[in-house]
Amino acid sequence: MAKIAVIERKCVGCGICQSSCPFGAIDMKDGKPELNAACRVCGICVRNCPESAIVRLETRTQSVDKKAWNDILVFAEISGGRLHPVVTELIGKARELAGPLGFEVHAVLVGHGLEGAAEELTHYGLGKIAVYDDPQLGYFRADAYADCVEAEIKRLKPSVVLTGATSLGRSLAPRVATRFHTGLTADCTTLMLRENTDLVQIRPAFGGNIMAQIITGNTRPQFATVRYKVMNPCVREEKQSGEILMRPVPENVYASRITCLSVVPVPPVKSISDAEVLVVGGRGLQKEEDLRLVQDLAKQLGGDWATTRPLVEKGWAGNERQIGLSGRTVRPKLIITCGVSGAIQFVACMNGSEHIVAINTDPDAPIFQVAHIAIVGDLYDVVPRLMESLKGGGRA
């Protein structure tokens, strides 16, 4: 691992390092630079320091005994009193990864009133189902939940820990990973497990311009978060299996300084992630009013409509309508893209759809590489003809 260090006897307090840092990771205190948590160890400050007062230090991480860490642990999140649907997707992927290595898949539940959820988990081919059930865990507190998951990891010593990339999961996973001084890869789109138990974690990086392959080779456990609708869900089995284990709640939970003042239920809202048919408008739309074409086709098909990031940035739609890394992940039975080029950050969040129809004037558009049906044409001509055909029940 690497880190940035400041040689104070050489530093003259010029502030060039602070102004050159693209991440705002350097604060000037008493005329001297101090690095904060935003540092990415990019080395720009090292190159720009005129006094050579900033250096990059390489530290050697002692490799862990990988044979001591086995199996896969899934954090089974509870949402609205029930298992979050991402849990069955995580279990499905975990079982797929575990099979070739002979690993077992376990789950950990944290909350209050978990009897039903624990019982439901016995239908998904798990080994141990650890339950931390206490009134103090009735609402999410990052420190208290982290204490419970940490305790279970210390008991099981799993090689891999999978968490949903939900609001709760994104808060919990980095806290637990930090406690074990190990790595965490967020929003993974592909996971593979090597024979040496290294987890290959693939996700879009640098604004979606590349697909990064990340490996945590020297530490355990290996943490990864996965978005809802990215992986195939595990099939529920009628036969029950697995051992439900009621765990004692760590004492730190009761010492938490976080208290709940009130709970305001969020009214359920319709999400494009749940739609079975989606029509998507992209940069090919010339003006905001043209979204009506997309909306009308979606309505005619009995589905919902969505957009790409450029349209959200123009203010034509809200973020809840966006498909992509900074929006939603979808896996409908049918998706029709209209004027969408197919940037990698968009494709990564919809390429699991059962049927993909793409309409674009550019025959070399990247979207055609994942489309099952490619229509090279102007959406302003194709979409009206398609809707007319649907009305008449004939061919476009």
Q: Do the domain assignments include residue 262? A: no
Please tell me whether residues 36 and 124 are part of one structural domain.
no
Do 223 and 87 belong to one domain? yes
Averaged pLDDT, groups of 10, the chain, 396 residues long: 87 95 90 85 93 86 87 96 96 98 98 97 98 95 95 98 96 93 92 97 80 92 95 95 97 87 83 96 96 97 97 96 92 97 92 96 96 97 94 60
What does the alpha-carbon distance between residue 13 and residue 114 come to, in Å, rounded to a whole number?
Answer: 56
Inside any domain, residue 211: yes
Domain boundary among 58, 77, 98: 58
395, burial (CB in 10 Å: exposed 0-12, middle 13-18, buried 19+): exposed
Residues 93 and 50 in one domain: no
| 170, burial (CB in 10 Å: exposed 0-12, middle 13-18, buried 19+) | middle
Domain assignment of residue 267, yes or no: no
Residue type, 349: C
On whether both 227 and 87 belong to a single domain, the answer is yes
Q: Give yes or no: residues 186 and 296 share one domain.
A: no
143, HSE (Cβ side, Cα atoms, 13 Å):
9
Q: Do 39 and 76 belong to one domain?
A: no
395 is written with which tokens?
């061919």
**pLDDT at position 159:** 98
Same domain, 191 and 174: yes
Instruction: Identify the CATH number of the domain in which residue 150 sits.
Output: 3.40.50.620
Predicted pLDDT at 396: 46
- Dihedral-angle region of residue 98 (phi above 0 means left; psi in -120 to 50 means alpha; beta otherwise): alpha
What's the confidence (pLDDT) of residue 23?
A: 81
- CATH number of the domain bearing residue 279: 3.40.50.1220
Question: Same structural domain for residues 345 and 229?
Answer: no
Q: If DSSP codes are grouped into helix, strand and coil, which group holds residue 266?
A: coil
- The count of structural domains within the chain is 3
310 within some domain: yes
Does residue 352 share a domain with residue 243? no
Looking at residue 208, its pLDDT comes to: 67
Residue-level pLDDT at 291? 97
Give the CATH number for residue 7.
3.30.70.20
The pLDDT, as a whole number, for residue 394 is 52
The residue among 199, 226, 255 that closes a domain is: 255
Domain boundary among 255, 288, 319: 255
Domain with 169 in it: 66-255
Question: Are residues 167 and 218 both part of a single domain?
Answer: yes
Pinpoint the alpha helices (H) of 207-330: 291-300, 309-313
Note whether 99 and 127 are same-domain residues.
yes
Tell me, yes or no, whether 260 lies in a domain: no
Question: Do 312 and 216 share a structural domain?
Answer: no
Q: Name the pTM for this structure.
A: 0.80
pLDDT at 344: 87
Within-domain flag for 103: yes
Residues 142, 138: Cα–Cα separation, whole Å: 12
Amino acid identity of residue 262, one-letter, is: S
Residue 382 inside a domain? The answer is: yes
